[in-house]
Structure 1
Amino acid sequence: MIFPEFLQQGDLVTIVSPSGAIDGEVIEQAAAAIRRLGYSVKIAEHAKGKHHRFSATDEERLADLQSALDDPQTRVILCGRGGYGLTRIVDRLDFSKFVENPKFVVGFSDITALHAALLTKAKCCSVHGQMAKAFVGYDATLDKKDAENPEVAESVEELLNILTGVRRRQTYFSYNQRSRVARDKVKGRLFGGNLSLIYALRGTELDITKQSGILYIEDIGERMYSIDRMMQNLRMSGVFGRIKGLVVGKFTDTDIDSSFGSIEDLIFNVTKGYDFPILFDIPFGHVDRNLPIINGSVATIAANALTFKTKK
């Protein structure tokens, strides 16, 4: 598995918007904040654009993303936002030049499709984490508790710690009493992201559910029956018979449906008969405290702790 080189002062960060449209001013403010941190920034040609719900046409978004992946000077690709759009273009990406000069790709939500492509086609680690908007107003000289939004500031700080190689490993704890903690330590590569995207890519060449590592999932705005349907699909296709553990982030803006109970109830029901550890409420997803996870990194679950390597 390829692990990109860490970001150093003066290195180039390229901002792309491969999915939904985002306010151009947000992109500019994010770029300014990143420059204040000591890095160079390039804004992709169509990153601030708008074409219906997308940032640009499929061809324009594909060209921007391909250019960033190919660019030997770019050390980090930071996505502007999620939304929808990557599944229209991701299968056409060429990673032949990227693997010669790999770089960290950062994003979440719809960007799960890009993480999947990097894992299956390029065999490269990437970062599931905050995107451009989170950098707006970020000030590294402030203690994060003094920031306008301490949880977003913490997320950016932790993302930078990973991108710059500050830590050897990262550990997140589940304090949810319903977590099924590991009796014995389990080990495997992290793979996952947004459940809807994982489900959408099933049966394609970007299907990541053939892995046997540690699956992590989150989602937003899905009805409980829809979440159940996607999870039942994973069950019926044997995914739960392969994975070593399940890490559940935040499922935000879901409906209340007594047919399924809570997210914990739903997941326990669909994984009935399996004994792998399940950690709930790990801090990632469509929330302010969206801490980074290295997709493709070797990880362990021990008791209520998820630990993954942040270096080669």
Structure 2
Amino acid sequence: MFKPKMLRKGDTIGLVAPASDSSKEKVDKSIEYLKSQGFKVKVSDSCYSKKGYLAGDDELRAKNINDMFKDKDVDAIFCIRGGYGVHRILEKIDYDLIKENPKIFMGYSDITALHIAINNRANLITFHGPMTVSDMRDGLDSFSLQSFKEVLMTSENTLEINNPEGEKIKSIVKGIAEGELIGGNLALISGTIGTPYEIDTEDKILFIEDIGEYTFRIDRMLMQLKLAGKLDSVRGIVLGDFNNCVQEDKEDQSLMEVFEDILIPLRVPIIYNLKSGHCTPNITLPFGSKVEVNGDEGRLIIKERVTIDG
């Protein structure tokens, strides 16, 4: 996998809106936060655009991403928010251009589809982490900021991913496995199945999270991955935050019962309650990097440096 240049204070962060729109006030507040952290900011047109539930039309949103990767003055690219719309632009992204201009690319939620496509087609490590409007406009919490800096702004060859104090990373299935970390939002992952952009899970460590889904829907999406063969060859699974994923009816299966039915029979190491996803704090994870999942001790360790000096 190609590695982007490490982020440093004084670097220019390009903002893109690949999915849903936001307000000018929220975008401007997030820009001020990034500047307060010592970064320069370049804003694409999509960040201030609106077309129905989208941040401008598909051509604009895709062009802004391509242009930010091509722009030599831009050091990293952050998404302002998720929502909906990324699947509509996957065919319009220039993956060869991205491969030739590797940069930090960060977001989560709907941005999952871009993580999968860029990992697969440009062989670039990308970052599942906070977005500017969604998480930064009122100031990033201290733990998320620390995680952001540890992953994007240090040159460690190994780095353990830790939860905040009082939030234990727990184990469902014991064992230790290594592989490339991939994944993201479960709904978006399942939405890639059967397309040219579907997730590659072979010999990978699969990370999944979601928000606001009834447990029967989590069941359905996991079964879609299972029936598509996407769980057959995973080496391990990391379950992130499942914010407000509850039973529709009191007699429905609980979230843990769904995991036990579908994931435990895979007999691979599984940990859960990693605070990454639609939650605060929101831990930054490097997709495409080599990691170790330790189901004996409830640990996740990045096993390689994920950025390079530049």
Q: TM-score, normalised by structure 2?
A: 0.90
Note if contact 2:66-2:97 (Cα within 8 Å) is conserved in structure 1.
no
Residue type matched to 1:311 in 2? R
1:261 and 2:253 aligned = yes
Please state how far the C-alpha of 1:311 moved relative to its aligned partner. Answer: 1.5
The residue aligned with 2:168 is 175
Of the structure 1 ranges 263-272 and 295-304, higher mean CA displacement relative to structure 2 is found in 263-272
1:248 aligns with 2:249: no
Question: What secondary structure is seen at the aligned counterpart in 2 of 1:97?
Answer: helix
Structure 1 pair 259/192, CA: closer, same or farther in 2 (3 Å)? Answer: farther
Percent of aligned pairs sharing the same letter: 29
Alpha-carbon distance between aligned partners in 2 of 1:287 and 1:60, rounded to the nearest angstrom: 29
Q: Once the two structures are superposed, what CA deviation does each residue of 1:124-160 show, in whole Å capped at 9, x if it has no partner?
A: 000001100322243xxxxxxxxxx7xx332133113
The letter for the 1-side match of 2:149 is L
CA deviation vs aligned residue, 1:178-218 (integer Å, no higher than 9, x gap): x22433x2100000000011000012221114432100001
Distance 1:58 1:100 in 2: 23
Matched, 1:120 2:143: no
Q: 2:208 aligns to what SS in structure 1?
A: strand
Alignment of 1:224 with 2:215, yes or no, is yes
Matches of 1:79 and 1:111, distance apart in 2: 8
Report the more deviating stretch, 121-130 or 216-225: 216-225
Aligned to 2:187: 196
Let me know the Cα RMSD of the aligned residues: 1.9
Q: Residues 69-80 of structure 1: matches in 2 within 5 Å?
A: 69-80=69-80
The equivalent residue for 1:33 is 33
Q: Which whole-Å CA distance do the structure 1 matches of 2:304 and 2:149 have between them? A: 12
Is 2:287 aligned against 1:286? no
Segments of 5+ residues of structure 2 without an aligned counterpart are none
- Is 1:306 aligned to 2:300, yes or no? yes
Q: CA deviation at 1:105?
A: 0.5
Q: CA deviation at 1:310?
A: 5.9
Instruction: In structure 2, give the amino acid aligned to 1:87.
Output: H
Question: In structure 2, what residue type is equivalent to 1:237?
Answer: A
Tell me which moved more, 21-30 or 287-296: 21-30
Equivalents in 1 of 2:48, 2:304: separation in Å? 31
Instruction: State the TM-score, normalizing by the size of structure 1.
Output: 0.89
| 1:170–1:310 CA contact under 8 A, matched in 2 | no
Q: Does structure 2 retain, via aligned residues, the 8 Å contact 1:165–1:310?
A: no
Aligned length: 298
> For 1:273 and 1:62, how far apart are their aligned partners in 2?
40
- Taking a change above 3 Å as real, the CA distance of residues 238 and 5 of structure 1, as seen in their structure-2 partners, is same
